[in-house]
Chain A
């Protein structure tokens, strides 16, 4: 073969490499191409978003993207609009699964995708709607997830926005800085957990081996020049379980400060929540951290995962939004401690601050919660409460975990959040098979 034919061959091979590169990028499905900042995808066909039972939650392309449930699903589905981009949990993070690539194989000039690239989520539209209705006009968040798989069944954050035609409403929505309707409070709302953090205190004490210490609560605990107290004096507290059920601040401060090393406490805390610890912290800060104030901050999602870890016998599930997605959970607690905590949380419903949910106990369901109330300073000397409930529920064994938080309330966790949880659980048990 002459040199010139070899040269031709070299170019032919170069051409084949070009074609190969084209095929590589054309079929690789690299996630970067589906990044919401890639403006191309706003103009491409986009698949439907479905709930776990096939109910359509979002459909249409480009500026005609429509969300039938409107505000009720705004944070979990997000938004998709050529003028403002893509954002939120599903539209913002799972765009690569929603893009429709033409699958025409033989009829070259007929551009018709052979399948709809719909995405089946883990959401349950009934629970989602129930949580949204239960939350009503209150500012706060609700999340429900399955304890074993971490599948998110409902995720609601209020105030919310209407994702339909959001481009027309965009300027007004982003101007509402105080309400922050675009903020997904479930994943990005960092709140002081208050007494909910006693779940972590209890874990620390159980791991050290609980000697069943008794304590007398006079309503006030003094550290240096600062007095930290309980809402009411609890009087005689008969051990850890009693303190947990009655949510006695003084008991937990006393034992955590005296028995648990701060490094160990913050190490366990960091498994479940973000914290703003620093080297200048003193014993007062540590005492406040023990009752979920000060440096400890928890999102509702983290609260639900904390409850799910207890309900799942110490195995923390990874939250997932897509039905086919399954992530490996992490073993956090030993099973015996987790089961003991479960019993304590059930007792909170039976005789503690979660008595508003005893109806489920009488119907033989298994339900356990921990309530919490954290103070939040507003302008001047005004204070409002952040009300919490985290917990789990199931017919015989824990099936779902949940967290509810309400901002800017004057009530306490149990009284403010219980009606919301009751409504969500009623919907869940009415549809549970």
Chain B
């Protein structure tokens, strides 16, 4: 279905059919879960979750009403991932306070599925409205014309410094605001870092990609970029917030984007070597990083049953062990819907992929991987210019793709894992809003590229 959609979703009938398939699968899955666990699930929760389908339908209808000419591909992929997330949260049947929970109740929180649904619906509506009304395109246009890389660097720094003054430490990090519910680093990583990077590359496009120039020419702009990224992003993230996970994601995204944008594979090699050195240094300097690398990645078997010596938690290896034990139980085909044993902590957030993989096996994993690959598929389906929009189309999807792939690699103990949620699927408030904002900006950028391309190839705009 996803494959066909990519090529034919502009066809209205196909779009309707796609929404129909997503909604049918969504309702079916929710119904199975409800009847399986009806003793522990309130009917009201089930009924509220069903509202996702009419909303999705209305958004597609509204696009027609507003005569929106852009593509809804990315919004549909996001909605699909959100629906998977809501179903997974409903299946887990857990409660959390979160942003919505702390607003509505002071005690036990609300079901994570409801929280996920509300944030997804609100974000979906806002982004759809912004796209249909043209506000999103205007905003991207404004950013392109009126702002610079330094502005986004300072803005990001200010956002990242906020929790130091307004937040409280959580798990050794200073990255949360508003009753430990909002994480500014999400917004910074998803949106403002990508815009900063795109702006920087745009301003220096002739320096970065000179034709036939000596590669040493690159050293200067590259040095400036690394310096600015360090000052605006790494310093506040690592030294102030102690948020190593987001810093790592920014590093990976930076390397990937630089490689793709310039077409020089030397960036990939140099980036990997620099990252390895930086991680080695972090292991020597930070005890917390050392724990993650040794206890949660290299020697997880040794730490699988060992109680953590500080606080009430366990070693990272314990969590890795539990996620891999779930994969072991899933084998190839998974245990089947509602048949898994959800015994992984942080199951609704960082480790949400584990219950999905456990119950749906390799098929569930491949659906997740394929869905995220569609983000760059869309970017690559047209010409990529070395202007702001072109670089934005590289920076935004690769950011989200790196995050998803890093999460899936982390929960399978391929890399040391530092609490990075899987976009759209993990429960969250600010994270979901940031994801949809990214999709909105990306869709607007795609639309702008399409308009520009149309204008260049057909200056009469079809009125000849």
Contacts and interface: CB of A to CB of B under 8 A. Distances in A.
Interface of A: 2-5, 7-8, 11-12, 14-15, 17-19, 21-23, 25-30, 32-33, 35, 37-40, 43-44, 101-102, 104-105, 108-111
B263 A3 contact: yes
B373 A43 contact: no
A35 to B, nearest CB: 7
Nearest to A109: B336
B332 A7 contact: no
B336 A33 contact: no
B271 to A, nearest CB: 13
Contacts of A35: 304-305
Nearest to B384: A4
Contacts of B263: 2-3
A40 B405 CA distance: 26
Interface string B261-273: 0010000000000
A87 to B, nearest CB: 15
Contact of B328 (A8, A11, A26): A26
B240 interface: no
B218 interface: no
A19 B369 contact: yes
A11 B332 contact: no
A43 B358 CA distance: 14
Given A105-B333, A111-B339, A18 B324 contact: no
9 contacts: A3-B259, A7-B259, A14-B409, A18-B369, A19-B366, A21-B412, A22-B365, A23-B332, A25-B412
B401 interface: yes
Contact of B401 (A11, A18, A21, A109): A11
Interface of B: 256, 259-260, 263, 301, 304-305, 321-322, 324-337, 339, 341, 343, 357, 361-363, 365-366, 369, 373, 376-377, 379-380, 384, 394, 398, 401, 405, 408-409, 412-414
Nearest to B261: A3
Contacts of A22: 327, 357, 362, 365, 412
Enumerate the 4 nearest inter-chain pairs by beta-carbon distance, A residue then B residue, closest first: A111-B336, A3-B263, A15-B369, A33-B328
Given A11-B376, A18-B408, A22-B412, A32 B321 contact: yes
B436 to A, nearest CB: 22
Nearest to A28: B328
A8 B372 CA distance: 11
Contacts of B324: 25, 33
A8 to B, nearest CB: 6
Given A8-B376, A25-B413, A40-B325, 9 more contacts: A22-B357, A25-B412, A26-B331, A30-B328, A37-B305, A40-B329, A43-B343, A101-B331, A108-B363
Contact of B335 (A7, A19, A111): A111
A140 to B, nearest CB: 34
Nearest to A100: B329
A115 to B, nearest CB: 13
Q: Would you call the interface of chain A mostly helix, strand, loop, or mixed?
A: helix
Contacts of B336: 102, 109-111
Given A15-B369, A33-B324, A102-B331, A26 B361 contact: yes
| Majority DSSP secondary structure for residues of B touching A | helix
Contacts of B321: 32, 38
A3 B357 contact: no
A7 B369 CA distance: 15
**Which residue, of B325, B339, B394, B405, has the highest number of chain A Cβ atoms within 10 A?**
B325
Nearest to A16: B369
A28 B376 CA distance: 33
A5 B301 CA distance: 38
Given A18-B369, A33-B324, A8 B332 contact: no
B302 to A, nearest CB: 10
Nearest to B257: A7
A25 B263 CA distance: 36
A128 B332 CA distance: 40
A108 B333 contact: yes
Contact of A19 (B260, B343, B365): B365
A14 B404 CA distance: 11
Contact of B304 (A4, A11, A17, A32): A32
A35 B343 CA distance: 15
Contact of A26 (B332, B366, B379): B332
Given A19-B366, A33-B324, A40-B325, A4 B414 contact: no
A29 B361 CA distance: 16
Contacts of A11: 373, 376, 401, 405
Contacts of B366: 19
Contacts of A27: 331-332
Contacts of A110: 336
A26 B330 CA distance: 6
Give the interface centre of A3, A15, A17, A33 by most chain B CB atoms within 10 Å: A15
Contacts of B401: 11
B369 A104 contact: no
A11 B75 CA distance: 21
A7 B322 contact: no
Contact of A17 (B301, B331, B334, B414): B414
Contacts of B305: 35, 37
A339 to B, nearest CB: 47
B319 to A, nearest CB: 13
A309 to B, nearest CB: 36
Contact of A43 (B260, B327, B341, B363): B341
A14 B398 CA distance: 13
Contact of A21 (B328, B369, B414): B414
Which of B259, B328, B336 is most buried by chain A, counting CB atoms within 10 A of its CB? Answer: B328
Interface-centre pick from B363, B365, B394 (highest chain A CB count, 10 A): B365
B380 A5 contact: yes
Contacts of A15: 369, 373, 405
Contacts of A108: 333, 363
A25 B365 contact: no
A108 B364 CA distance: 12
Contacts of B304: 32, 35
